[in-house]
């Protein structure tokens, strides 16, 4: 994008608004906000972080600061701007939550991110522990049109390489009845649905042991006290997992 256009309602912004159709309002908002310096993380990063953290209610500045590795002062300033743009609601002592507009934008970016991850794994031979960081970089560079061509090319996958659901174009997500492996009972057979972990060494560890989405496991021992489990894979090998790893592996019960 040209520097002039990035700074406000310049020519590049107008072209983007026309090209992106129904998303033009959001594109305007994003471009306008990205141009306001200093922000050490992008608008999209903030929206995705709030969306990802929002399972636990309103999100504090500290939560976001930790998640994005950004100083709390920068987060506070960014939240003020996100609220001015109508993307979040934010009250000082209650924390932040996404507005409908913010939610739609977050889901649009999550869709893009997860499709890119799938492409990197399936077509470029990336190991699954490396796709997240690469997708974080690429998602800022591609358009909605590229994203939809990618979805078409990949055959409209429903889940990314970590098993996380890919939001549909309308932002909808499937419901799922998965639970953390740390809460599985001994003797049960389970299937791994997704791994909610982004740490590359942890993912590499799980990948080497085939503790990945789709794998069938038998829970040999479960310790409810500390959530540690021992599982046996289809290859007959047993693996002991402790928290937080065991809590990041979401499984479904098999009959």
Residues that bind Zn ion (CB under 5 A): 132
Q: Please report how close the Cβ of residue 49 comes to Zn ion at its closest, in angstroms.
A: 12
Helix (H) or strand (E) holding 135: helix 131-138
Q: Let me know: does 124 contact 134? Beta carbons within 8 Å.
A: no
Residues with Cβ < 8 Å from 185, sequence gap 6 or more?
219, 222
Minimum distance of Zn ion from residue 143's CB (angstroms): 19
H helix count then E strand count, the chain: 11, 8
On whether the CB atoms of residues 53 and 63 are closer than 8 A, the answer is yes
Nearer Cβ to Zn ion (132/197)? 132
* Shortest distance in whole angstroms from residue 248 CB to Zn ion: 13
Question: Closest distance between Zn ion and the C-beta of residue 229, in Å?
Answer: 25
Rounded CA separation 69/77 (Å): 15
68 vs 48: CA distance, rounded Å: 10
Least Å from the CB of residue 136 to Zn ion:
7
| Smaller CB separation from Zn ion, 31 or 114 | 114
How far, in Å, CA of 194 to CA of 217, rounded? 13
Nearest residue to 172 via CA among 110, 119, 214: 110
Distance CA(210)–CA(18), nearest Å, equals: 46
Q: Which two tokens stand for residue 71?
A: 């100083």
* Closest CB to Zn ion among residues 107, 184: 107
Cα 206 from chain centroid (whole Å): 19
Question: Is residue 129 within 8 Å of 117, Cβ to Cβ?
Answer: no
Q: Which is nearer to Zn ion, 116 or 241 (CB)?
A: 116
Shortest Cβ contact with Zn ion: which residue? 132
Nearer to Zn ion, 33 or 110 (CB): 110
Of 27 and 121, CB closest to Zn ion: 121
Cβ at position 112, least distance to Zn ion in Å: 11
CB nearer to Zn ion: pick between 7 and 205:
205
> Which of 194, 153, 49, 35 shows the shortest CA–CA distance to 110?
49
């Amino acid at each position: 994008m040209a520097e002039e256009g990035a700074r406000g309602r310049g020519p590049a912004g107008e072209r983007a608004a026309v090209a992106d159709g129904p998303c033009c309002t959001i594109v305007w908002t994003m471009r306008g906000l990205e141009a306001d310096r200093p922000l050490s993380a992008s608008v999209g990063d903030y929206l995705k972080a709030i969306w990802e953290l929002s399972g636990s209610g309103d999100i504090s500045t500290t939560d976001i600061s930790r998640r994005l590795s950004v100083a709390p002062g920068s987060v506070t300033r960014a939240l003020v701007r996100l609220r001015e743009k109508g993307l979040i609601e934010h009250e000082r002592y209650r924390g932040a939550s996404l507005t409908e507009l913010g939610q739609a934008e977050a889901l649009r970016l999550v869709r893009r991110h997860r499709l890119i991850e799938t492409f990197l794994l399936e077509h470029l031979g990336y190991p699954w522990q490396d796709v997240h960081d690469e997708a974080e970089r690429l998602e800022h560079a591609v358009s909605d049109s590229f994203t939809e061509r990618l979805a078409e090319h990949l055959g409209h996958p429903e889940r990314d390489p970590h098993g996380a659901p890919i939001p549909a174009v309308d932002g909808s997500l499937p419901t799922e009845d998965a639970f953390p492996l740390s809460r599985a009972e001994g003797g049960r057979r389970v299937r791994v649905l997704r791994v909610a972990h982004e740490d590359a060494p942890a993912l590499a560890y799980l990948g080497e042991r085939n503790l990945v989405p789709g794998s069938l496991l038998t829970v040999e021992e479960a310790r409810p006290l500390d959530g540690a489990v021992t599982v046996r894979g289809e290859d007959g090998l047993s693996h002991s997992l402790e928290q937080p790893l065991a809590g990041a592996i979401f499984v479904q019960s098999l009959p």
